Each structure stands twice: as structure tokens, then as C-alpha cells.
């Protein structure tokens, strides 16, 4: 088993409603090395558990820590998938899930990621009448309980607010960093149209 740490790997933290779906989506993208469900940016470590987070008032968001190899996939490509599947106009809600733990957010842990995240967020913000995605530094992250990890692989028929066809789409859609100049919805539609054009 290969255990040597990849010195190229980078990390981004994505809160997009129920963490099962975001984790499953990210794991499907080539170049993602690991995706781990957890709780981010809450008030205190003692509340970083599913029961407390679901009860509300902890400040924690269901978040996925995405570790990726930037030589295989760009942060822009990961953010494109993220912004395509979330609804940025909702507060404390995604799909059928309602509560502060389901608030959307992109949390960065270094200056390089901050620059990219803020640039992409400005594109998405300009394309939406309302934009409630939290864009800020990561303050803390605690992995979720083991039964949440790889949940949709363990439970293929489990609930997911992200359509399976969108997860499949991003497993094969290649986006170069410089292409992300338009909002995710428009860029994806253009890429799909280009794929279906006759040669």
C-alpha cells in the first residue's frame, strides 16, 4: 500500500447541505484523493457530533474536507461541481434538508485557495439574485462519525439531494482553470453542448 504523503496535495472544505451527497460527488471526480465528512466552523469541539449539530445552535456546518492533487484536478473544477449542484439562494437549507447545519459554505485554509475561492464566488454571486454561500477561512474541522463516511457507497439507495446523473457528469467533465469565467450553470451547459456538436 502506498503511504508516502503526496507533497502536491491541497485541501478545500465544502459545505453543501447533507454531507453524504457532497462527499459522494467529490469522490467521483478524478484527482480527488480523499473526501471526508465532518463538522466545520462551529463554536466548540464538544458539540462536534451528529446529535448536537442536528439539535442546532452549535454553529457547525455539515462539511466535506476534500483533499486533491492539483496536477490532476484544479480547485476551479471542484468549485464548478460544487456550485453546479448547490442552490446558493437558500439560507440554512438544501433540498429537503432544513437547519443551520445545512448552510452552504466554502472554507479555505491558505492564501492560494482564498484567492481562487473569492474569484469564483464573485462570478457566482454576479449570476444570482441572492447569494448566501459563506465564503471565509476555515476555523475548525472535526471528522464526522464513522457511519457517515462513504455513506452512499455503504448505502447505495440512501437519500442524496444531488441527482446521481450530476455526480456521473462531473466524474467525466474536464474543466481547465482558465475556463471558469462564467457561472457554473452556464459553463456546464456550454461544455455539454460542445460535446454533442457533430464533428
Beta bridge pairs of residue 12: 66
Of 196 and 83, the structure prediction assigns the larger pLDDT to 83
The predicted model scores a pTM of 0.93
Q: Is residue 29 part of a domain?
A: yes
pLDDT for 1: 40
Domain with 38 in it: what CATH number? Answer: 3.30.1060.10
Could you report the per-residue pLDDT of 42-57, keeping only the tens digit for each? 999 999 999 999 999 9
Q: Show the domain range for 90.
A: 10-196
CA angle 157, 92, 75 (to 5 degrees): 75
Q: Is residue 171 part of a domain?
A: yes
Q: Is residue 3 part of a domain?
A: no
Q: Is residue 2 part of a domain?
A: no
Classify residue 87 by burial, with Cβ atoms within 10 Å: 0-12, 13-18, 19+. middle
Q: Is residue 4 part of a domain?
A: no
For 20, residues 6+ apart whose C-beta sits below 8 A from its C-beta are 37, 148, 151, 152, 158, 159, 160
**Domains held by the chain: number:** 1
For 29, residues 6+ apart whose C-beta sits below 8 A from its C-beta are 68, 73, 77, 78, 81, 170, 171
φ, ψ (nearest 5 deg) of residue 16 = -145, 50
Q: How confident is the model at residue 8 (pLDDT cuts 50, 70, 90)?
A: confident
* Residue carrying the nine cell digits 453543501: 16
Q: Is residue 1 part of a domain?
A: no
3-state secondary structure (DSSP) of residue 78: helix
Q: Is residue 189 part of a domain?
A: yes
Rounded mean pLDDT, 106-122: 97
Query: If you write DSSP's letter for every residue of 104-166 in order, what string do you get?
Result: -EEEESSHHHHHHHHHHHHHHHHT-S----EEEE---EEEPPGGGTTHHHH-TTS--SS-HHH
Rounded mean pLDDT, 158-179: 90
pLDDT for 2: 44
**CA gap 74, 53 in Å, rounded:** 31
Label the pairing between strands 105-108 and 134-137: parallel
Amino acid at each position: 500500500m502506498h503511504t508516502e504523503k503526496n507533497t502536491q496535495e491541497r485541501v478545500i472544505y465544502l459545505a453543501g447541505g447533507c454531507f453524504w451527497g457532497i462527499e459522494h460527488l467529490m469522490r467521483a471526480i478524478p484527482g480527488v484523493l480523499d473526501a471526508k465528512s465532518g463538522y466545520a466552523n462551529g463554536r466548540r469541539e464538544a458539540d462536534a457530533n451528529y446529535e448536537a449539530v442536528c439539535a442546532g445552535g452549535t454553529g457547525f456546518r455539515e462539511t466535506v474536507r476534500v483533499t486533491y492533487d492539483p496536477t490532476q484536478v484544479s480547485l476551479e473544477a471542484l468549485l464548478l461541481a460544487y456550485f453546479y449542484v448547490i442552490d446558493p439562494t437558500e439560507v440554512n437549507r438544501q433540498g429537503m434538508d432544513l437547519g443551520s447545519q445545512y448552510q452552504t459554505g466554502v472554507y479555505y485554509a491558505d492564501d492560494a485557495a482564498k484567492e481562487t475561492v473569492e474569484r469564483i464566488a464573485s462570478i457566482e454571486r454576479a449570476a444570482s439574485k441572492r447569494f448566501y454561500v459563506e465564503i471565509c477561512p476555515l476555523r475548525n474541522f472535526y471528522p464526522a462519525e464513522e457511519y457517515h463516511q462513504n455513506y452512499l457507497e455503504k448505502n447505495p439507495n440512501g437519500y442524496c439531494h444531488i441527482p446521481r446523473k450530476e455526480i456521473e457528469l462531473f466524474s467525466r467533465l474536464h474543466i481547465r482553470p482558465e475556463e471558469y469565467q462564467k457561472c457554473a450553470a452556464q459553463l456546464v451547459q456550454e461544455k455539454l453542448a460542445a460535446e454533442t456538436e457533430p464533428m
